[in-house]
Amino acid sequence: MFYSDGKLRSHTDAQRREYGERKRAERSREWNKIWITKHTLKNERNWTDWAIKTFLKKPRKMKGRYRIYYVYKREDVIKAEKEISFKEWMATRIERQSKLAE
């Protein structure tokens, strides 16, 4: 038992802070198992705005703490990435990017 601000507490501030961080990380992992943001598609998976409009359904808007996120179901993204037309498009995109890098 600890006293903090004159109140009897069972955990220190550091323990409470660590617990909150751990819970936020767990919630984030669970959310990321289901959803993927437009930002992640573009920056980590090499998608473009055109590809997102063409290969995916309309995005769902989710309100975050400070802004609105455009999100897609992860299973829909994986399904789209398995399509032959997407694979062909991505191959030409990567080829163009490698030519520009030279």
Print the domain residue range for 78.
2-101
What is the mean pLDDT for each group of 10 consecutive residues in the chain (102 residues)?
64 87 95 94 95 94 90 96 96 91 76
Model confidence, pTM: 0.77
Tell me what pLDDT residue 72 has. Answer: 96
pLDDT at 15: 87
pLDDT of residue 2: 58
In order, the DSSP letters of 57-89 are -PPEEEE-SSSEEEEEEHHHHHHHHHSHHHHHH
If one counts the domains in the chain, the total is 1
The amino acid present at 63, given as its one-letter code, is K
The pLDDT of residue 14 is 87
What pLDDT was estimated at residue 3?
57
Q: Virtual CA dihedral for 24, 25, 31, 35, nearest 10 degrees?
A: 130
